Structure 1
């Protein structure tokens, strides 16, 4: 909505999991969308992810830095055209740093289980998983557990509004909280919530800001691989 009676507020959904509405302004959303469109082009472009059981994910994906496939990382698109994965740009690391600071009030080096050091240590973000959802796409409950780092996960939304289901680290079932993520929203989860199950049970088609020029939803997930 352009105007709301009660503006959406920053909310801690669970310990270490924070939703920050409208974190990206309209100009930054457009810049990020343009970058995503370039990354989605082949080679190493947008692909359908196939699971070990023979199924396919309804959300399509492109990766930066390292290529994720169920359930590991590679330097090439091993389940696609086998092209070298596109590089992870430094400005995405800067964006992730700011996101963690704004959401959790602490840099990622302090938000993960790194022993105290004489000087602050920054572990750079080096992987992006970009998922494209059309109106019928979904994402089942899963954990981001393939990384060797426990730095917070940064999630950015563009386009259509979705229902983001954020659960707990123990089970795919309840308790969980459904959060409405709109275009420009930020969601960060780390600490005790770093391995919480989460998913997208619903996308509200046709809800993207018209000025963005996007049909569907893009989710940009930024991680520290620790590899």
Structure 2
């Protein structure tokens, strides 16, 4: 592990993995992603509007609407998702050690009032691959539990430039974001937090 890295409930955390110039460069890459595939405000199958806005890059993107949760090859507009930025792929390869690249880089934007309820990432077809998460912008209070919903949870702050790897025993852990700490970062001019999650969706 890198200096300062730690584990919590099987989760691997690299605080400050990306320095400020790397963060700024990645934000510029993500602006290009959002130009090709604009952020949308998703709706759950039950009709509830989520508080985060989403887009994606890669061969597949994760979407939710009245028809359910799923991965699909097109943005809701019908356009193909843009490619995953090389800088994101470099983080994936360096920290996972895998030759297999992710199929999807989900991009979530949290404004000051957004949150993400406890959930498992289980729409993928092969749970042997980890999920990689990159935080940019304002701090987020991240909550992690176990694979069983009845297990207790722990929370800790994720800051801009932090990277998290959910694999092994933590791959199906329940997790979420309790809240955002507004104005805790100057990375994004209008504030807020961007979170990237890279996933392998299919085994081949």
Q: Is the shorter-chain TM-score for this pair beyond 0.5, marking a shared fold?
A: yes
8 A contact 1:63–1:129 mirrored in 2:
yes
Structure 2 equivalent of residue 88 of structure 1: 84
Q: Residue in 1 aligned with 2:37?
A: 44
Aligned counterpart, 1:206: 183
Matched, 1:28 2:28: no
Q: Is the 8 A contact 1:99 1:186 kept in 2?
A: no
**Where in structure 1 are there 5+ consecutive unaligned residues?**
1-7, 101-106, 109-121
Structure 1 CA distance, aligned partners of 2:154 and 2:4? 16
Question: Whole-Å Cα distance in 2 between the matches of residues 20 and 214 of structure 1?
Answer: 26
Task: Give the match for residue 168 of structure 1.
Answer: 146
Correspondences of 1:178-189 after superposition (within 5 Å): 178-189=155-166
Report the 3-state secondary structure (helix = DSSP H, G, I; strand = E; otherwise coil) of the residue aligned with 1:155.
Answer: strand
| Superposed displacement of residue 134, structure 1 | 0.4
Q: In structure 2, what is the Cα distance between the partners aligned to 1:54 and 1:211?
A: 33
Task: Please point out which of 106, 128, 142 is paired with 2:119.
Answer: 142
Give the match's secondary structure for 2:177: strand
Matching residue of 1:217: 193
The answer as to 2:55 corresponding to 1:62 is yes
Q: CA deviation at 1:91?
A: 4.2
1:10 aligns with 2:8: no
Q: How far apart are residue 62 of structure 1 and its match?
A: 0.6
Q: What pairs up with 1:71-150 in 2 under 5 angstroms?
A: 71-77=69-75, 80-100=76-96, 107-108=97-98, 122-149=99-126, 150=128
Misfit runs of 4+, over 6 Å: none
Q: 1:49 to 1:212 in 2, by over 3 A?
A: closer
Quick one: distance in 2 between partners of 1:174 and 1:144? 17
Q: Please identify the structure whose Cα radius of gyration is greater.
A: 1
Contact 1:44 / 1:82 at 8 angstroms: preserved in 2? no
Secondary structure of 2:21's match?
helix
Count, aligned residues:
195
What are structure 2's unaligned runs of at least 5 residues?
Answer: none
> Could you tell me whether the CA contact under 8 Å between 1:159 and 1:214 is conserved in 2?
no
- Please state whether the residue corresponding to 1:128 is helix, strand or coil: strand
SS at match of 1:221: strand
Question: 2: CA distance between counterparts of 1:180 and 1:222?
Answer: 20
Shift of 1:32: 0.6
